[in-house]
Amino acid sequence: AQSVTQLDSQVPVFEEAPVELRCNYSSSVSVYLFWYVQYPNQGLQLLLKYLSGSTLVKGINGFEAEFNKSQTSFHLRKPSVHISDTAEYFCAVSAMNRDDKIIFGKGTRLHILP
């Protein structure tokens, strides 16, 4: 079975500063990896996904993530955050199996400080 650990429940960062949200996964098989964002009182929206190929994945809103197989990590980064990035961010994993489901982490709340 797969599992996801998001090491930080909350991350405060000043506006225009860079941010990294950490995600580690556990799996005995190859996986697909995702980052979703949830704005207040909204559903989840896909930020980016890693399926195969280049380990550096670029997503919407200036976010990117890097897949590191040896460290079983998929950290999310943004070089300069904006107040509008205030949200909950979820890392998720799915085994490379047609019948497997997505497993979500507990989420990291990003607080943008003025």
Q: Examine residue 104 and tell whether it contacts other proteins (CB under 8 A).
A: yes
- Site of tokens 């079983």: 72
- Nearest to 4, CA basis, from 21, 20, 26: 26
Nearest to other proteins of 13, 44 (CB atom): 44
Q: How far is the CB of 5 from other proteins (least distance, A)?
A: 11
Q: How far is the CB of 58 from other proteins (least distance, A)?
A: 15
Q: Examine residue 102 and tell whether it contacts other proteins (CB under 8 A).
A: yes
Nearest to other proteins of 82, 106 (CB atom): 106
Helix (H, G, I), strand (E, B) or coil at 84: helix
Q: Regarding beta strands 64-68 and 56-58, do their DSSP bridges make them parallel or antiparallel, or are they unpaired?
A: antiparallel
For other proteins, the binding residues in 24-63 under the rule CB under 8 A are 32, 41-46, 49, 51
Q: Of 14-22, 53-61, 73-81, 86-94, which part binds other proteins (CB under 8 A)?
A: 86-94
Helix (H, G, I), strand (E, B) or coil at 55: coil
Residue 108, CA distances (Å) to 25, 30, 55, 88, 100 in order: 15, 24, 22, 6, 24
> Which residues contact other proteins (rule: CB under 8 A)?
4, 9, 32, 41-46, 49, 51, 90, 92, 94, 96-102, 104-107
